[in-house]
């Protein structure tokens, strides 16, 4: 509320002004007229319900008297609606066609302007008016001709010199003779620069708007003669110079192509193009740092020249006047270590290396091929069992033992046993030998940097009148105590039903099934190393069948080492009673003085120090390879006497720091 005294605004409920303290007039409790009208007015609400399947729309606008009436589809003027839809469709198709025509016309205009040659047309000399006004007269004349063609009238060619009148204005002088036009396709195109007004462009046709071709050659000749003599001389000189340059370029291209073809021919024929004191090749034989045979190729040539070896697909840069390439010999035949190696099966191999040298991107010469012969070593393999490639056996399960280089790939009878190779190089596999005569066992050994060694061994087993076979999984090695009841070895097999089985070896618990011929027993091992278990089958009126199964008995490390005697303290006793001590286990510590052989490894060890040192001959059957000059602690059993030295078979070895 506004104060009548000071004019300040105050809240309506205050009795006095907050600024001057003057009493404020009382407010009337009755509402104003506009407030009463606002509260008394009721909002209008109109709800129209449509059916979701009803596609017709009421034709009467809202607010008419018919809004409340039900919709009647019969009142709809369907004929008028159909006419409107058809008219709308015609207008849409006409608009689309008009837009398409405008696009095509614009494209033709752009192509015409792009392909046309814009020059200034010059009329014939004898047809020019007496008072020639220059380019403006030509332009007016052309405009008049265009306008006459547009109106469909023939412009007058005789009469007084007066301008031609038309509804669109004056365009040219009637005394001027217009240029004539033909539709000769071979005639040059001249664009006269005429463009109709913006409002008349749509009315012109394509034939009226596109450029015309001039009629006669005289106009072209006069246009050429209009140029000055100096311009023609300069153009003639430019053409002569261009022809000379083109001829020189052609000669250069022909010469370069001939040189390139000749060089390619020489390179393909392998002829040495460059053979002077600047480039030469030397070949020397030697060894790599790890002791493998190799050959070094030394190429002398220009500084920073590039040498490429075709066979190895490698390139090198000449520095200090030469480049030396060392290639191990095994890179030519060992396919496991080289991608360009070729597998061979002969003792020697002929190698050819073709070097090329390039001093730039365009100069590349092939040198004389380097030829030499290398030795191809065979993978070493030693037969331990059997000792020869042909052997007679009377066992059904035979252990084939070999000695190879550690890390070799070994396949015995079709089975890869490379993971079973010990540190000493020994590897073995049990093969089944049938009583059919000759049994051929294939062996393949591939060692590092060597060619593959293939061999076959033949195991002959005579046919039997009484079948006698052991199980393929029968044991061939035993590492436990024979007296241990929880670990008793078991040998099983089959024979002729009704046959009698006899075991000629310490054993127990022999059982034979007379109906099936299956048998089993538990051997008792008394000697360390190989134990030959002999099994005999007997049947009435038939010859006995005998097989010998060898089992390698060696107690485990804990059991074996507890039985050892001191070799240093009992050395004299061992020498004096060597026969009685055979098989006894001894332990000793000493240094390897001499290595006699590698397969099997035999070495002489010195036991003790100073004047009390005693020597023993040791055969290494442990998993550790001995090194000359190293000190070891060994556990071995007595084998016999050799050159006044006791000989022991070592089972366990420990390196002493």
Share of the chain above pLDDT 70, in %: 70
pLDDT, position 358 = 87
Backbone phi, psi, residue 264, to 5°: -65, -35
- Mark whether 435 and 527 lie in a shared domain: no
Q: What is the CATH number of the domain that holds 538?
A: 2.60.40.10
- Mark whether 119 and 213 lie in a shared domain: yes
- Mark whether 123 and 217 lie in a shared domain: yes
Which residues have C-beta within 8 Å of that of residue 83, sequence separation ≥ 6? none
**pLDDT-based confidence at 91, cuts 50/70/90?**
very high
Is residue 66 a part of any domain in this protein? no
**pLDDT-based confidence at 32, cuts 50/70/90?**
low
Tokens (6 digits) for 346: 């002969």
What is the spatial distance between Cα 629 and Cα 374, in angstroms, rounded to a whole number?
A: 36
Highest mean predicted confidence (pLDDT) among 9-18, 223-232, 256-265, 435-444: 435-444
- Smallest CA-to-CA distance from 494 within 543, 452, 430, 547 is with 547
**pLDDT-based confidence at 232, cuts 50/70/90?**
low
- Helix residue ranges, H only, 26-134: 33-40, 78-115
Tokens (6 digits) for 622: 């442990």
- Mark whether 201 and 176 lie in a shared domain: yes
Q: Is the pLDDT of residue 269 over 50?
A: no
- Could you read off the pLDDT of 291-337 as tens digits, one per residue? 889 999 999 988 888 899 988 888 999 888 889 999 999 999 988 88
The answer to whether the beta carbons of residues 28 and 36 sit under 8 Å apart is: no
Q: Is the pLDDT of residue 369 over 60?
A: yes
What is the spatial distance between Cα 396 and Cα 494, in angstroms, rounded to a whole number?
A: 11
Lowest mean pLDDT among 229-233, 376-380, 550-554: 229-233
- Mark whether 564 and 499 lie in a shared domain: no
What is the spatial distance between Cα 486 and Cα 143, in angstroms, rounded to a whole number?
A: 128
pLDDT, position 117 = 54
Is residue 63 a part of any domain in this protein? no
- Mark whether 351 and 396 lie in a shared domain: no
**pLDDT-based confidence at 194, cuts 50/70/90?**
very low
168-196: average pLDDT: 47
Which residues have C-beta within 8 Å of that of residue 415, sequence separation ≥ 6? 429
Last residue of a domain, one of 429, 451, 473: 451
Is residue 184 a part of any domain in this protein? yes
What is the spatial distance between Cα 620 and Cα 648, in angstroms, rounded to a whole number?
A: 9
Q: 358-386 burial string, b = 16+ CB within 10 Å, else e?
A: bbeeeebbbbeebeeebebbebbbebeeb
The one-character DSSP state at 332 is G
Is residue 578 a part of any domain in this protein? yes
**pLDDT-based confidence at 650, cuts 50/70/90?**
very high
Q: Is the pLDDT of residue 632 over 60?
A: yes
Q: Cis bond leading into 191, ω under 30°?
A: no
Last residue of a domain, one of 451, 483, 506: 451
Cα 131–136–138 angle (5° rounding)?
Answer: 80
Tokens (6 digits) for 71: 């919709």
The answer to whether the beta carbons of residues 335 and 320 sit under 8 Å apart is: no
Residue with tokens 């030509």: 138
- Mark whether 206 and 218 lie in a shared domain: yes
Q: Could you tell me the residue range of the domain that residue 17 belongs to?
A: 1-49
Tokens (6 digits) for 614: 């005693």
- Mark whether 384 and 475 lie in a shared domain: no
Lowest mean pLDDT among 6-10, 202-206, 500-504: 202-206
Strands (DSSP E) contained in 330-408 are 348-353, 355-358, 364-366, 370-375, 381-385, 390-392, 397-404
- Mark whether 591 and 645 lie in a shared domain: yes
- Smallest CA-to-CA distance from 649 within 569, 585, 570, 594 is with 585
What is the spatial distance between Cα 234 and Cα 401, in angstroms, rounded to a whole number?
A: 102
Q: What is the CATH number of the domain that holds 639?
A: 2.40.50.140
- Mark whether 355 and 407 lie in a shared domain: no
Q: What is the CATH number of the domain that holds 357?
A: 2.20.130.20
Is residue 457 a part of any domain in this protein? no
What is the spatial distance between Cα 618 and Cα 93, in angstroms, rounded to a whole number?
A: 112
Residue with tokens 């001995």: 626
What is the spatial distance between Cα 253 and Cα 251, in angstroms, rounded to a whole number?
A: 5
pLDDT, position 154 = 59
Which residues have C-beta within 8 Å of that of residue 303, sequence separation ≥ 6? 318, 319, 320, 321
Q: 99-137 burial string, b = 16+ CB within 10 Å, else e?
A: eeeeeebeeeeeeeeeeeeeeebbbeeeeeeeeeeeeeb
Is residue 160 a part of any domain in this protein? yes
- Smallest CA-to-CA distance from 456 within 386, 504, 352 is with 386
Is residue 531 a part of any domain in this protein? yes
The answer to whether the beta carbons of residues 436 and 460 sit under 8 Å apart is: no
Torsion, Cα 137 138 140 145, to 10 degrees, reads 140
Q: What is the tally of structural domains in the chain? A: 6
| 597 SS3 class | strand
217 burial level (CB within 10 Å; 0-12, 13-18, 19+): exposed
Cα 368–370–374 angle (5° rounding)?
Answer: 170
- Mark whether 119 and 206 lie in a shared domain: yes
pLDDT, position 244 = 84
Cα 146–152–155 angle (5° rounding)?
Answer: 65
- Smallest CA-to-CA distance from 524 within 557, 484, 556 is with 484
- Could you read off the pLDDT of 93-125 as tens digits, one per residue? 999 999 999 999 888 888 877 775 555 454 444
Is residue 233 a part of any domain in this protein? no
pLDDT, position 456 = 93
Strands (DSSP E) contained in 301-436 are 306-309, 314-317, 322-328, 348-353, 355-358, 364-366, 370-375, 381-385, 390-392, 397-404, 409-412, 415-416, 426-432
| 572 SS3 class | helix
Last residue of a domain, one of 508, 537, 554: 554
Radius of gyration for the chain, computed over Cα atoms and rounded to the nearest angstrom: 60
The answer to whether the beta carbons of residues 591 and 606 sit under 8 Å apart is: yes
Backbone phi, psi, residue 266, to 5°: -65, -45
Residue 553 pairs in a beta bridge with 478, 529
- Mark whether 495 and 446 lie in a shared domain: no
């Amino acid at each position: 509320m506004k104060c009548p005294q000071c004019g300040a605004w105050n809240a309506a409920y205050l009795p006095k002004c907050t600024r001057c303290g003057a009493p404020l007039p009382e407010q009337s409790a009755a509402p104003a007229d506009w407030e009463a009208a606002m509260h008394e007015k009721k909002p209008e609400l109109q709800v129209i319900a449509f059916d979701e399947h009803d596609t017709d729309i009421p034709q009467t606008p809202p607010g008419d008297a018919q809004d409340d009436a039900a919709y009647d589809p019969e009142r709809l003027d369907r004929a008028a609606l159909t006419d409107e839809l058809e008219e709308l469709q015609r207008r849409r198709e006409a608009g689309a066609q008009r837009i398409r025509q405008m696009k095509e016309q614009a494209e033709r205009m752009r192509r015409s302007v792009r392909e046309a040659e814009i020059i200034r047309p010059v009329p014939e000399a004898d047809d020019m008016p007496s008072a020639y006004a220059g380019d403006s007269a030509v332009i007016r004349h052309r405009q008049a001709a265009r306008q006459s063609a547009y109106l469909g009238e023939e412009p007058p060619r005789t009469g007084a010199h007066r301008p031609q009148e038309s509804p669109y204005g004056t365009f040219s002088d009637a005394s001027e003779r217009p240029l004539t036009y033909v539709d000769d396709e071979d005639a040059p195109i001249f664009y006269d620069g005429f463009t109709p007004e913006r409002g008349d462009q749509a009315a012109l046709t394509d034939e009226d708007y596109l450029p015309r071709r001039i009629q006669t050659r005289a106009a072209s000749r006069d246009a050429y003669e209009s140029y000055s003599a100096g311009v023609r001389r300069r153009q003639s000189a430019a053409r002569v110079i261009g022809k000379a340059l083109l001829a020189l370029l052609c000669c250069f291209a022909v010469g370069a192509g001939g040189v390139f073809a000749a060089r390619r021919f020489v390179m393909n024929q392998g002829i040495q193009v460059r053979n002077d004191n600047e480039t030469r090749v030397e070949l020397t034989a030697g060894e790599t740092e790890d002791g493998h045979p190799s050959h070094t190729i030394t190429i002398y040539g220009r500084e920073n020249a590039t040498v490429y070896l075709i066979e190895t697909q490698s390139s090198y840069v000449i520095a200090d006047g030469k480049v030396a390439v060392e290639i191990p010999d095994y890179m030519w035949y060992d396919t496991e270590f080289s991608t360009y190696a070729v597998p061979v099966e002969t003792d020697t191999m002929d190698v050819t290396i073709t070097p090329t040298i390039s001093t730039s991107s365009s100069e590349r010469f092939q040198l004389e091929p380097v030829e030499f012969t290398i030795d191809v070593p065979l993978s070493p393999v030693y037969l331990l069992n059997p000792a020869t490639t042909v052997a007679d056996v009377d066992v059904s399960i035979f252990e084939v033992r070999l000695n190879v280089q550690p890390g070799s790939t070994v396949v015995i009878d079709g089975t890869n046993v490379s993971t079973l190779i010990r540190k000493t190089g020994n590897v073995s596999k049990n093969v089944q030998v049938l009583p059919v005569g000759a049994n051929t066992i294939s062996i393949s050994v591939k060692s590092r940097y060597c060619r593959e060694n293939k061999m076959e061994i033949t195991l002959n087993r005579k046919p039997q009148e009484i079948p006698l076979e052991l199980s393929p999984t029968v044991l061939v090695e035993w590492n436990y105590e024979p007296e241990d009841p929880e670990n008793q070895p078991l040998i099983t097999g089959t024979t002729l039903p009704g046959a009698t089985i006899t075991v000629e070896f310490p054993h127990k618990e022999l059982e034979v099934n007379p109906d099936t011929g299956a048998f089993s027993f538990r051997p008792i091992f008394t000697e360390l190393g190989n134990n030959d278990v002999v099994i005999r089958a007997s049947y009435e009126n038939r010859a006995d069948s005998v097989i010998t199964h060898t089992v390698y008995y060696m107690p485990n490390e804990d059991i074996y080492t507890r039985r050892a005697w001191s070799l240093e303290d009992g050395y004299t006793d061992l020498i004096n009673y060597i026969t009685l001590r055979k098989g006894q286990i001894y332990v000793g510590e000493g240094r390897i003085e001499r290595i006699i052989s590698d397969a099997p490894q035999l070495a002489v060890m010195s036991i003790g120090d100073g004047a009390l040192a005693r020597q023993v001959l040791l055969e290494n059957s442990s998993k550790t390879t001995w090194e000359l000059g190293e000190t070891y602690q060994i556990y071995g059993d007595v084998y016999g006497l050799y050159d006044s030295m006791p000989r022991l078979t070592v089972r366990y070895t420990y390196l002493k720091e």
